[in-house]
Amino acid sequence: MLQQLSRREKERQAREAEIVAAAEAVFCQKGFDGASMDEIAKAAQFTKRTVYQYFSGKEDLYFAVALKQFQQLLAYFRAAVAAGDSGFEKIQRAGLAYYQYYKDHPDTFLLLYTGFIQVSAPDVPQRQKLLELKRAAFGELSAVFEEGKADGSIRADLDEAKAAYSFIFVHSGFFQMFSESGHSFAGNHGLGAEEFILFTLGLLSDAVRA
C-alpha cells in the first residue's frame, strides 16, 4: 500500500511545483544566463529566501526544470515503445515520439539541454535526479535494441548500449539544431519542415534495420 503524504509534504510539493513552473517561464524568456533568482522568486510570488529553502541555487532550479521536461519526454517514449511490435518498430516509434514531443513543447524544448551549465558542485540535487533518470532511459532503450536483435528486426552486429546512446545523442542534436535554425534551413533549400524531419527520422531508423 502506498503511504499517504502528510499535509505538510503535500504543501511542500505544491510549492516546489509552483517554483519550478515559474523558473521554467523565466528561463524560456531569458535563458539560463539572463535569468536571476530574484526574477524567479518574483514570478513564483515567493521571497528569494523561500525559493532557497527548496533549491540550492539557479543551477539546481534549471536542472529541476530540465528534469520535468525529460520526465515528459520519457513518457512519450514509453507510450511509443509500448505500441510497437518488433524491436525495430519500437525504435522507429520512439524517434517519431521525439518529434511529437518537439511539436507539443516548442517553447520549452531547449530547456532539456543542460550541458552548457557550469556546475559549481557535483552534488547539485536536481542534477543527480536528472542523471539517474537519464541512466534509466538509456537502459530501457538499450533493452529495446536487444529485443530487436533477438527478433531479427535490428542488425545483429550492433552493440545495444552504444546504439541507445547514439540514438539519444543524434536525435537530441538534430532537434536542438532544428529548433534553432531548422525552419530557415529547410525553407532556404526548398524543403518542407515536416517532410525534412520525417525523412531524417526515417534515415536514422533505417540505419539500424536488419
Domain boundaries, the chain: 1-54, 66-207
Average pLDDT value for residue range 150-154: 97
Provide the CATH number for the domain formed by 66-207 in this structure: 1.10.357.10
Q: Would the pLDDT of 27 be above 50?
A: yes
Whats the size of the chain, residue-wise? 210
Average pLDDT over residues 4-25: 88
Helix extents (H) in the chain: 7-34, 37-44, 48-54, 58-82, 87-104, 125-151, 160-177, 183-188, 193-206
Instruction: Kindly state the cell numbers that stand for 95.
Output: 524517434
pLDDT for the residue numbered 1? 44
- The one-letter amino acid code at 113 reads Y
Read off the pLDDT band of 122 (50, 70, 90).
Answer: low
CA 80, CA 92: separation in Å to the nearest integer? 9
- pLDDT at 118 exceeding the cut of 70: no
Q: What is the pTM of this model?
A: 0.86
Q: Say what the pLDDT of residue 48 is.
A: 95
At 183 the pLDDT is 64
- How far is Cα 91 from Cα 104, in angstroms, rounded to an integer? 20
Which of 50-64, 84-98, 140-154, 185-199 has the least mean pLDDT? 185-199
Average pLDDT, the chain: 89
Q: Does domain 1-54 have CATH number 3.30.70.100?
A: no
Indicate if 66-207 has the same CATH topology as 1-54. Answer: no
Q: What percentage of the chain exceeds 70 in pLDDT?
A: 92
Cell representation of residue 132: 539517474
